[in-house]
Amino acid sequence: MSENHNHNKHLGYGISFGLIGGALLAVLLGSFFNTMLVWAFAPGFGMLLGMMVGIIMDANHNKG
User: 36-52: per-residue pLDDT in tens?
Assistant: 999 999 999 999 999 99
pLDDT tens digit string along 6-24? 677 888 999 999 999 999 9
Please say whether the beta carbons of 11 and 60 come within 8 A: no
pLDDT of residue 63: 75
Q: Rounded CA gap, 24 and 19, in Å?
A: 9
pLDDT band at 27 (very low <50, low <70, confident <90, very high): very high
Residue partners of 53: CB distance under 8 A and separation at least 6: 10, 14, 18
Kindly state the average pLDDT of the residues 19-40. 92
